Amino acid sequence: MVSVTKTIEPEITTDFILPSVNLSYNFSAKSLLRLAYGKTVNRPEFRETAPFFFYDFDRRAGTYGASFFGDTLDVAQIQNIDARYEWYPSAGEVIQAGVFYKSFKNPLQQVTYGDGDNRQFTFINSNKAYCYGVELDARKNLTFLDDKLGTHIFKNFTAVGNLTLSKSELKTDSSAKSQFLNDVIQTSNLQGQSNYVVNLGAYYQNDAIDLQSSLLYNVYGPRMFSLGNTYDPNIGELAFHSLDFTLSKTFFKHYIFNVGVQNLLDQSVRFVLDTDQNSKYEAKKDKPFSSYNPGRYFSVGVKVKF
């Protein structure tokens, strides 16, 4: 018996010119304005363009690489424009505020075809997309609280924070290359792009006793997981809150004890079907699709340095 395996050799052009320009203007020794432009690319991953099928046991659905259907994924091209104001009030402290705009050509997207028990996933190039928003960053030592309260508790604490607010839109029409274009939803938000992301952190470092610790909080807003079709709406991922803790202590100058806990809140990752097709992905209004609990992760370790 002779087995014949068909081979494919998709050709993807990657000879791109990627210009970038950065300008900065110093208002003073502690503040400046930055302007930046850059072109970047996003190349398809192997699983996105692979010519085979694999089964996703978490979502109980099959996934096909684009080449399985004879499609060739193009490299996505992104134009990036950023403007940011930076202020450094003192050593180790910073406050930043910025705006950004990104324009996508041939953005890579995961799409759903079929529905119900026949639901499958594959990948396509949409036509275009854009994303714009604002971002705020801050890093502040908490010594000023000691000055106000007359204590020495906060001198080793530093607080950090980041807030990103954004809006995105994805457009797909018949001029894009895929046999699934007649079925996919043509206007949606960009896959994996949340409207808001918040990061907060508190750090403690006491060199006198060789002790460091951190408590980090993150939340990202609802986001599109898979672009839907005329039979099945978009699949969205709901907001996820995480809280992580780490502690490190050095003993006798050579032994470092580390302990850490991830996902202290024991949050579950939840997906819904956007049944009202408003691209908002709401637990109370949309139909549950799937969920899983990654659980808490504990780590303990000892390092020896010479």
In three state form, how does the secondary structure of 218-255 look? EEECCEEEEECECCCCCEEECCEEEEEEEEEEEECCCE
Give the residues across from 2 on adjacent strands: none
Whether residue 52 is predicted with pLDDT greater than 90 in this model: the reply is no
Decide if pLDDT at 25 tops 90.
yes
Domain residue ranges in the chain: 31-304
DSSP code for 150: T
Specify which residues 63 forms β-bridges with: 54, 121
pLDDT tens for residues 247-291?
999 998 889 999 999 999 999 999 999 988 888 899 999 999 889
Determine if residue 194 is left, alpha or beta; phi over 0 gives left, psi from -120 to 50 gives alpha, anything else beta: beta
Collapsing DSSP to helix, strand or coil, 33 comes out as strand
Q: What is the mean pLDDT of residues 57-75?
A: 83
Instruction: For residue range 89-114, list pLDDT tens digits in order.
Output: 988 899 999 999 999 999 999 988 77
> What per-residue confidence (pLDDT) applies to 1?
45
Mean pLDDT of the chain: 88
- Kindly report which listed range (71-85, 122-136, 177-191, 255-269) carries the lowest average pLDDT score: 177-191
Position 147 scores a pLDDT of 83
Q: How confident is the model at residue 176 (pLDDT cuts 50, 70, 90)?
A: low
Percent of the chain with pLDDT over 70: 91
Is the pLDDT assigned to residue 175 strictly greater than 60?
no
Going by C-beta distance under 8 Å and a sequence separation of 6 or more, which residues neighbour residue 52? Answer: 64, 65, 68
Least confident of 72-86, 164-178, 187-201, 217-231: 164-178
Contact by Cβ (8 Å): 184, 124: yes
More confident site: 58 or 215 = 215
pLDDT in tens, 111-162: 887 766 678 899 988 889 999 999 999 999 988 888 888 888 888 999 999 9
CB 80 within 8 A of CB 98: no
Q: Please state, in angstroms and rounded to a whole number, the distance separating the CA atoms of residues 240 and 245.
A: 17
Amino acid identity, position 29: A
pLDDT band for 49, please (50, 70, 90 cuts): confident
Distance CA 31, CA 87 (A): 4
- pLDDT by residue (tens digit) across 3-24? 445 566 666 667 899 999 999 9
Burial 214-246 (b: 16+ CB within 10 A, else e): bbbbebbbbbbbbbbbeebbbbbbbbbebbbeb
pLDDT value, residue 171: 87
